Amino acid sequence: MAVSRPLEVPASGVKGRLRWGSPQSSWPAVLTFLAPALLLYAGFTIYPAIRTFYNSVHTIRPRGGEEFVGLANFRELLTTDTVFWKAVANTMVWAVVAPVPDVLVGLLLAVCLYAKVPLARFFRVVWFAPVLLSYVVVGIIWMWVYNYEWGVANLLLRGIGLTAWAHSWLGDPATALWAVMFTHVWKWTGFNMVVCLAALYALPSEILEAAALDNCGWMRKFLFIMIPMMWRTLLNLLILSLIGKMKVFDLVWIMTGGGPLWSTETVSTYVYKRAFEWSTFDLGYPSAVATLWFIVILGLVLGLTVLFRPGDRLEY
Amino acid sequence: MGLARAAKQATLLAIVSLYTVLSGAPVLWVAVMSLRTTSEISADAYALPFPAHWDKYLSVWTTSHYGTYFWNSTVIVVTAVAALTIVGSMAAHGLARYRFRGNRLVYFVLFSAIIFPPQLTIISLFQVLVEYGLFNTRPGLGLVYVAIQLPLTFYILEGFFGQIPQDYFDAAKIDGCSEFGVFWRLTLPIGLPAIATTVILNLIELWNEFLYAVVLITDDEKRTLPLGIMRFMGDKLEDIGMIATGMMIAIIPVIVVYSVCSERMIRGMTASVLK
């Protein structure tokens, strides 16, 4: 749902935030209130971010050796680094494909609850539960679900006679990325369901009642009334999901570590690997990857904001 | 007509039950396995836990260091959330209640960090914490946790504090309330629902946090639960039964709190998109 800027809450009359007519504030008080947050922000967010930009044009060896290399890291990255491009391709596939099932399944579940299923409250609570689990827990559970011999995915396939389909989902480069994506969708569907349900309840009921009087079936109500009226919310969820996928790390790292054969490598796991796993002894190169990817995400956010969200803001 | 209606209702119920199994069964499965030994599980991965081996919990807690991991997670997360609540609400109060040049600029600067991908800061945070002498320490990880959750916390609180009627503050000032008194006696009590929301959100996010912890903590006795589970998994990949028990140590607190206040938690986790 659109979060309109708090500043736009009517400021006339008695309610609302400070008006421009109110007296000038005292600087000591303002500074006291803001100082802790600004210090933390400066020390643990902005300084490290700037340091990463600095790193990206250097070769950084552990124990202090630094050497300025200009744009050499970026040049290598963009021209010769095939693993990086594989990671970009995987991340883009994920970011483009996954938001659709993410939001669509969430929306369908929300509509089921909205259609007055008995025990709706119970279902809502159970469906939301995966959102609260950590990636470590979710990742390990699903590694077992996908297990070749005794994982439930393969047991079900063998049970319905599709023995030939059973295989090592995470071990096969052709299916590994899709298997991890499925798990990611599983974890986040509940979130989208709750947001869609709230949007459904916010729809003006007269319109839906009028449609019911006109003998409009559920399917048509869904396609021609609910979806168009909820479009704003759905778009927000799609964008939120897309931006989230651009940063995806934990689940991949836990389930496959980027393998097999780079088939699940994402930009984030690649940065981590180059910085802390491979013994390349250079923090500059992964910093260049992180910097480049930050620029891509920033461009994407700005682009989407300009395209779809005049005046409104969304957080990622 | 009646028949079609019944058919529709049946389809609906089928979808709903199917998804309930899909979302609930994996966790139930782990809960069941946590009470069974690995040899029982390799005989049949889907049997019920009879007899139930409750002693496995005692065993992971004491001999596999889960007691230490649990304690580390609790201390780091609780102090970080306490600090976040104080720092975040102070900043939100400062921007929501004081008029000064650059107010919106500060707001934008603090808020914009929300789009930073973790990879942008993680490498240099590693360097920076080494330089500050905070690398591989619990306070270091706690401070980083405060910093990463600050933008969202601040954003939710500022939105709420900004809606508190200004007249309350004017009245308090006339009654001689100090600047800090206004924050303490007005903003905090009135803002309590929003503060509770951010506390829940931050507790869950940080309890589950993995990436920063894995980079910034290396000693076993300082590991948090997610790291502990991963290390245990790395050491004893085949010991499914014990891994399941260890995972339940991380899941149980979440489930207990969720069963007591599910609505509040759902609201907290979706607060970034829903008001």
Query: Half-sphere exposure of A195 toward its Cβ, with a 13 Å CA cutoff?
Result: 33
**Confidence check: pLDDT of A213 > 60:** yes
For chain A positions 85-114, those within 8 Å of chain B (CB to CB) are 108-109, 112-113
Say if residue A3's pLDDT is above 80. Answer: no
Q: Contact at 8 Å (CB) between A72 and B178?
A: no
Taking one residue from A and the other from B, the number of pairs with CB-CB distance under 8 angstroms is: 295
* A247 in B contact zone (CB under 8 Å): yes
Q: How far apart are CA B72 and CA B68, in angstroms?
A: 6
Q: Give the residues across from A59 on adjacent strands.
A: A67
So what's the pLDDT on residue B243?
93
Instruction: Please check the confidence at residue A143 and state whether its pLDDT lies above 90.
Output: yes
The pTM score is 0.89
The reply to whether A261 touches chain B by the CB within 8 Å rule is no
Q: Which of A38-47, A51-60, B43-52 has the lowest mean pLDDT?
A: B43-52
**What domains sit in chain A, N to C, each tagged with a CATH number?**
48-80+279-316 (no CATH), 93-266 (1.10.3720.10)
**Residue of B30, B84, B115, B202 for testing the chain A interface, max A β-carbons within 10 Å:** B115
Cβ contact B117–A194 (<8 Å): no
> CB–CB of A287 and B273 under 8 A?
no
**Mean pLDDT taken over chain A:** 85
Question: Hey, are the CB atoms on B159 and A3 less than 8 Å from each other?
Answer: yes
Q: Which of A266, A269, A265, A288 is nearest to A277 (CA)?
A: A269
Residue with tokens 């303490």: B184
Place of tokens 């994996």: B26
- What is the least distance, in Å, from the CA of B194 to any CA of chain A? 14
Mean per-residue pLDDT, A57-85: 87
In this prediction, residue A149 carries a pLDDT of 86
Degrees (nearest 5) of the Cα angle A80, A81, A87? 145
Query: pLDDT band for position A74 (50/70/90)?
Result: very high
Mean pLDDT of the region A12-32:
61
Task: Report the candidate in B266, B29, B257, B21 with the shortest Cα–Cα distance to residue A138.
Answer: B29
Residue of B nearest to A252 (CA): B211
Higher pLDDT, A312 or A21: A312
Give residue limits of the domains in chain B: 64-235
Which pLDDT does position A4 carry in this prediction?
Answer: 36
Residues of B in contact with A246 (CB under 8 A): 117
Neighbour-count burial of A159, counting CB atoms closer than 10 A to its CB (0-12 exposed, 13-18 middle, 19+ buried): exposed
Q: Do the chains contact at A123 and B158, CB–CB below 8 Å?
A: no
Segment among A12-21, A118-127, B157-166 with least mean pLDDT: A12-21
Q: Which pLDDT score, from 0 to 100, does residue B275 have? A: 61
pLDDT score recorded for residue B112: 86
The predicted structure's pLDDT at residue A307: 85
Query: Which of B42, B120, B187 has the most A C-beta neighbours within 10 Å, making it the best mutation to test the interface with A?
Result: B120
Q: What band does A99 get if pLDDT is binned at 50, 70 and 90?
A: very high
Tell if the CB–CB gap between B230 and A195 is shorter than 8 Å: no
Q: What is d(CA B60, CA B62) in angstroms, rounded to the nearest whole number? A: 6
- Within an 8 Å CB–CB cutoff, is residue B172 touching chain A? no
A34/B91 touch (CB, cutoff 8 Å), yes or no: yes
Contact call for B147 and A43, based on CB within 8 A? yes
User: CA-nearest residue of chain A to B179?
Assistant: A29
Nearest chain B residue to A197 by CA distance is: B274
Specify the pLDDT at position B7: 85
Alpha carbons within 13 A on the beta-carbon side of A156 = 7
- Residues of chain B where predicted confidence (pLDDT) is lower than 50: none
pLDDT of residue A25: 63
Closest CA of chain A from B212, distance in Å:
10
Q: What is the ipTM of this complex?
A: 0.92
Predicted pLDDT of residue A206: 85
Give A241-277 pLDDT, tens digit per residue: 999 999 999 999 999 988 889 999 999 999 999 888 8
Domain range B64-235, CATH class: mainly alpha
Tell me which long-range contacts A116-125 makes (C-beta under 8 A, separation of at least 24).
A117/B12, A117/B13, A117/B16, A118/B13, A123/B16, A123/B19, A123/B20, A124/A193, A124/A194, A124/A197, A124/B266, A125/B258, A125/B262, A125/B266
Contact A98, A181 (CB under 8 A): yes
